[in-house]
Structure 1
Amino acid sequence: MDPSDSNSAAGGKTQNVSVPPVEGVAGGGTSYGWVDGGLRGTNIGAGVIDPTKVHSDDLLHVWSMPSTANVSQQEAPRPLEKVNLLAARNERESFQIALRPKVSWATSGIAGSVQIQCTDLCSSSGDRLVVGQSITLRRVVPILGVPDALVPIDPLSPQISIQPGETAAVWVSVNVPCGQPPGLYEGEIFITAVKTELDSRTESLPKSEKCRLYRELRSCLDLTGPRDYSSPEEMVQRLTSASTVLRRVLDNPALQDCQENNGFGDMMDEDVINNISVRLKLSLTVWDFTLPVTPSLPAVFGISETVIEDRFCLEHGTEGWYSALDHHFRWLLQYRISPFFCRWGDSMRILAYTCPWPVF
């Protein structure tokens, strides 16, 4: 990552960075409505916050971290910077996106939900790295307070929940295929505060209102159904009545958002991304060489046969023993580590490298 190349959010907004309160001091990080200092001087008033009406930069801190960093739950916010990656073909590069709420915008116990959308990485020649294939998102889940497990994020519903007073991390991996043309690839990641599923259900129509809309639409269908009209005036009268019913349905307060956007739901989604999201620019330089699929040099690294026997309670040379050993060696190959482990003599002398698979 290039620290000299800082990236501002959409609309010229910059991240307002402040050190979060220490957990347990002055109630920081535990109560509803907790504020991380990021809203000082903003025009957000008290009450329930609608994340679709407020820029996400006013609701949460967003910054990038390298893959070598352990992002703890009390990690302090940093300036948002553009992410620059370098990779060869057949190589994987990763980085992290850290998120920390400035205020709670959900009515439930969490601070809120965050949607993370990534565009394809495209080069000037039209080549691209596709999201879901070459680009994957995973949630970093702490185990006993330590960042550990990587849980895949569904690309069709890329939302995560964040807790008040805690920093969450998303692990972004870019896998460069062997046949990928070299060059500079660029894209963006959009981080947007959204309503939680519970809040969305709360805003849904009550049953009585749904029944009323159903009856009106049903009567409209009856008015326009096929039938023999006694005169043209009767047909005009029934169509006029149907038009009146439909207009009354469209004027329902529950459809107000659709009225404000002229019914273009897809355009509304695009406007939300462009207007209220925090935008993280991402660039990847693919070098003009390919890493080997298998290691070319033996490594003094391996898995002891006795460890396999003791850990899995398997007898040496059995089918289950070979299956467990095969599983471990294939895992090593994914990280370009030689599966050929060494046998040791006295004084750490290497006697020989042996093949873990039997000869058939």
Structure 2
Amino acid sequence: MENLEGNQHSGAPPVEGVGGGGTSYGWSDGGCQLPASFSGVIDPSRIPSSDLVHVWHMPSTENVGNQGIPQQFEHISLLAARNERESVQISLRQKVSWGGLGAVRIQCSDLCSSSGDRMVVGKSLTLRQVLPVLGVPDALTPLDLPVSQINLLPGETSSVWLSVNVPIEQPCGQYEGVICITAVASDTESSGKSLTKSQKYKLHHEINDCLDVVQTLQDKPHEEVVERLKVATSTLRRVLMSPTFSEFIACPEDLMDEDVHTNISIQLKLSVTVWDFTIPQTPSLPAVFGISETVIEDRFCLKHGSPDWYDALSRHFNWLLQYRISPFFCRWGDGMRIFAYTCPWPADHPKSDEYYSNPRLAAYAVPCVPSLLSDETAKNYFKKEIDILKSKAHWKKAYFYLWDEPLNADHFRSINDLSSELRLYAPDARVLTTYYRGPGNASDSQSSFEAFVKVPNYLRPHTQIFCTRR
């Protein structure tokens, strides 16, 4: 580690090139003294990775762009309660180029406490690569665990998003693990990358079965059985321990032995203190997020109401819940009228309680289109739905989202009319309205900001939850 900390930031950091690279970002060619052994072609397997790669970490609240400036190398220390997620960014940047498109291999261990408790990599600890969207670091694409590999472009900073998800039943204490970062040639990508994870798992399972069969041979002469077992066992174990199956090996610490022995990897220690209290499963401040059902249908080529359609909605629902977001699905009608619902099943369906009673759900949208209730059958059906939901303990989570961002006085009047109609069925209903401006054609003369400020006056008492983005 002395070698790492002595070389990580000596002088001004270069941005690219074997000689320290360009001056376009404020660093001069003379600001970096490289070892004489760096002349010629660089073999990352023979040089400490700390001489090739800048590694530092940044808070999850920071935007680290591709020109992020390297910071001091420090180990990571996080504090978290049970049932809490804490994240941090690990940023990487080439000090010098090796083979054009350099790559780094990232290996993670489980987080272990002195009492033997453990947070498992891949479940409690996850990694995602931060990728830009329209030039802004935004997308988080999952990385394989416990071993993954990413490419580093010369002169650009790349970041990895590390999240620690503390299970609700996790014992409190101090947990420690290691993240090994190793510079590798970009053409050393594991051959297993051509296989999907499910394919690798299937192959792994088949080889294990083969090993079991060979080890239980009984019909052959003793000498032949012994010899065949030696050959088969040696071959199969060598295959199972190859990088192709690294993510299925039970003890990820073993994967790091080679790096530890050669002292080439950068070893970034991760320490997590788990406090002796638990974050409630139900958020105290609801955060709702809408997903267009037509986007899901178009994106996954699904027919509305098909089994696959219900499955896709369920997957989106549960995926957002893990981030303490209460989702709803929606489609738009005329004039930005919106049909919003959290559960696609009717209130008397068993799935309904599964959705609405989920302790991670803080609020749910009740499907409602009062203006479409033109006949008694539809009105009776809607009344039945409301009566069922009102009889449940989760009714206190319910709200109605009737209109998306009204623009003029007619829109505001429509919201109030819809809300009044709704209260014939549910007098205690809570109506949510989103807005970013006041009515554009209001009769009284006022500025746009004055109209915006007065929106609650236009909507009360018909709206109880106001959501604005201005």
| TM-score category of the 2 structures, normalised to the smaller one | 0.5 to 0.7
What residue is the counterpart of 2:135 in the other structure? 145
Tell me, yes or no, if the aligned pair for 1:137 and 1:153 is still in contact at 8 Å: yes
2:67 is the alignment partner of 1:71: no
Q: Which has the higher contact order (CA 8 A, sep 6+)?
A: 1
- The letter of the residue matching 2:142 is P
**Closer, same or farther in 2 for the Cα pair 1:271/1:311, shift >3 Å?**
closer
Tell me, yes or no, if the aligned pair for 1:114 and 1:162 is still in contact at 8 Å: yes
Tell me, yes or no, if the aligned pair for 2:108 and 2:147 is still in contact at 8 Å: no
Q: What is the alpha-carbon distance in structure 2 between the residues aligned to residue 319 and residue 199 of structure 1?
A: 42
Q: What is the alpha-carbon distance in structure 2 between the residues aligned to residue 38 and residue 160 of structure 1?
A: 27
1:127-276 mapped onto 2 (5 Å cutoff) = 127-155=117-145, 157-197=147-187, 268-272=258-262, 275-276=263-264
SS class of match (1:197): helix
Tell me, yes or no, if the aligned pair for 2:15 and 2:95 is still in contact at 8 Å: no
1:308-323 mapped onto 2 (5 Å cutoff) = 308=292, 319=305
2:277 is the alignment partner of 1:289: yes
Unmatched runs of 5 consecutive residues or more in structure 1? 1-7, 202-264, 354-360
- The letter of the residue matching 1:340 is Y
**Closer, same or farther in 2 for the Cα pair 1:292/1:137, shift >3 Å?**
same
What residue is the counterpart of 2:46 in the other structure? 53
Tell me, yes or no, if the aligned pair for 1:9 and 1:280 is still in contact at 8 Å: no
The percentage of aligned residue pairs carrying the same residue is 52
Q: CA deviation at 1:56?
A: 0.8
Q: What is the alpha-carbon distance in structure 2 between the residues aligned to residue 296 and residue 152 of structure 1?
A: 29
Unmatched runs of 5 consecutive residues or more in structure 2? 192-254, 299-303, 326-361, 366-398, 400-430, 434-454, 466-470
SS class of match (2:36): coil
Q: What is the alpha-carbon distance in structure 1 between the residues aligned to residue 188 and residue 97 of structure 2?
A: 14
Q: CA deviation at 1:51?
A: 0.9
**Closer, same or farther in 2 for the Cα pair 1:322/1:197, shift >3 Å?**
closer
Once the two structures are superposed, residues 249-306 of structure 1 have per-residue CA deviations (whole angstroms, 9 ceiling, x without a partner) of xxxxxxxxxxxxxxxx99644423xx11112121111111222223345x37554xxx
Tell me, yes or no, if the aligned pair for 1:302 and 1:339 is still in contact at 8 Å: no
Q: CA deviation at 1:185?
A: 0.8
Q: What is the alpha-carbon distance in structure 2 between the residues aligned to residue 153 and residue 71 of structure 1?
A: 18
What residue is the counterpart of 2:113 in the other structure? 123
Which residue among 339, 352, 355 is the counterpart of 2:363? 339
Q: What is the RMSD computed on CA atoms of the aligned residues? A: 3.8
1:14-29 mapped onto 2 (5 Å cutoff) = 14-16=7-9, 18-20=12-14, 28=22
Q: What is the alpha-carbon distance in structure 1 between the residues aligned to residue 48 and residue 270 of structure 2?
A: 21
Tell me, yes or no, if the aligned pair for 1:121 and 1:129 is still in contact at 8 Å: yes
What residue is the counterpart of 2:235 in the other structure? none
TM-score for the superposition, normalised by structure 2? 0.49
Q: How many residues align?
A: 265
Structure whose residues are more often helix by fraction: 2
Tell me, yes or no, if the aligned pair for 2:118 and 2:175 is still in contact at 8 Å: yes
Q: What is the alpha-carbon distance in structure 2 between the residues aligned to residue 28 and residue 118 of structure 1?
A: 33
Once the two structures are superposed, residues 295-330 of structure 1 have per-residue CA deviations (whole angstroms, 9 ceiling, x without a partner) of 345x37554xxx84786799xxx8489888766654
Q: What is the alpha-carbon distance in structure 2 between the residues aligned to residue 288 and residue 118 of structure 1?
A: 25
Once the two structures are superposed, residues 5-49 of structure 1 have per-residue CA deviations (whole angstroms, 9 ceiling, x without a partner) of xxx5666644125344599xx97399xxxx987851423331111
